[in-house]
Amino acid sequence: MKVFRFSMLKFAMVMVAVILVAGVAMPKISNARDLTIVSWGGAYQEAQRKAYFDPFMKKTGKKILDESYNGEMAKVRAMVESKNVTWDLIQVESPELINACEQGLLEIIAWDRVGGKQIFIPTAIMGECGVGTIVWAHVIAYDADKIKGEGPKNWADFWNVKKWPGKRALRKNAKPSLEIALLADGVPPADVYKVLSSEAGIKRAFKKLDELKPHLQWWEAGAQPPQWLAAGDVVMTSAYNGRISAAIKEGRNFKISWTGQNYAVDSWVIVKGSPNKDLAYEFIKFASQPENQAVLSEAIPYGPTNVKAVAAVNPKIAPDLPTYPANLEGSIATDADWWVDHIEELSERFNVWAAQ
């Protein structure tokens, strides 16, 4: 019995050695998975499929899995910290980009791998970790079939529940609700962040939001504002300009008020530790080509970031872009650096206020 046990032990040790040697000698089996890209869903992601995802797969033969999210970065942090990265590329807003980059959650961009900084508009170069892909805006939207005649022209009108009774909708986020509240309270666009930098200014913004709170419902996904307008759940709403334009293209009699638009740049970022980093770079370069960005702007009117694409925008589409000169009157550009310094504190404060 002892001899049998010894022989089995010896056999097991030999087999382990064989397996270890084989493991060194044999090539590793690839654990690579499909490139996973995360964006904002709805009509916008449909436009991305048309302009980027499907053509890229056809050109490269590589499969793309696309998912949607609402901008939360906690999942990205958990992936990176656990070294279990299942998202490769994400489209993010600028403050979140800067914060995540500083926290080591994103790869540093090698600009030569996406065509170089010189092919992009200056605002598309956001820190070390992002490649700008669209210029978008929060605007006022309403259904002209339900609001006859004159509609709201600015954020002060948005607050006027006597002239236009009914529910309103705003994005459930400190950014840009606080900026919008100050614009509604008469603060000039150029002074919004100056006012918001003081405790008195923050209280002023929340006080203005208090006025509208009984008439508010909060949206969290970009698809909700056009859906709520169409259903009659709200009479007016803040919304991503492209989502409203997409609904208009589908036959809805929606109108956009551009005065006080809050515009910003969204960027592509690569999650730190992505096993598909090389393919992610290949995709960003593809999605940054002027001809491909032009297809996106045709499908949904967000401003392109490639210099040549900006110059080549279809004149019929230009008036629907946030960057159109007439649409920039009375506008405010999101101050990403300001929000990096204040996002944590004001988000917590906003969430407590919204829950009351």
pLDDT at residue 144 tops 90 = yes
Contact 178, 155 (CB under 8 A): no
Q: How far is CA 61 from CA 188, 246, 278, 293, in A?
A: 51, 30, 15, 21
How far is 327 from 135, CA to CA, in rounded Å?
13
Q: How far is CA 148 from CA 143, 199, 259, in A?
A: 9, 40, 20
The pLDDT value given to residue 32: 64
Amino acid at position 126, single letter? M
Average pLDDT, the chain: 90
Q: How far is CA 243 from CA 10, 19, 135, 289, in A?
A: 69, 57, 13, 23
What are the tens digits of pLDDT across the range 166-196? 999 999 999 999 999 999 999 999 999 999 9
Peptide bond into 95 cis (omega under 30): no
Q: What is the 8-class DSSP label of residue 153?
A: -
The pLDDT value given to residue 181: 98
pLDDT at residue 4 tops 80 = no
pLDDT higher at 12 or 215: 215
The two three-digit tokens of residue 148, written as one number: 């006859």
What are the tens digits of pLDDT across the range 308-354? 998 888 889 989 999 899 999 999 999 999 999 999 999 999 999 99
The two three-digit tokens of residue 323, written as one number: 């960057």
Domains and CATH numbers, the chain: 35-135+265-328 (3.40.190.10), 137-263+332-355 (3.40.190.10)
User: Within 13 Å of residue 154, how many CA atoms lie on the same side as its CB?
Assistant: 18
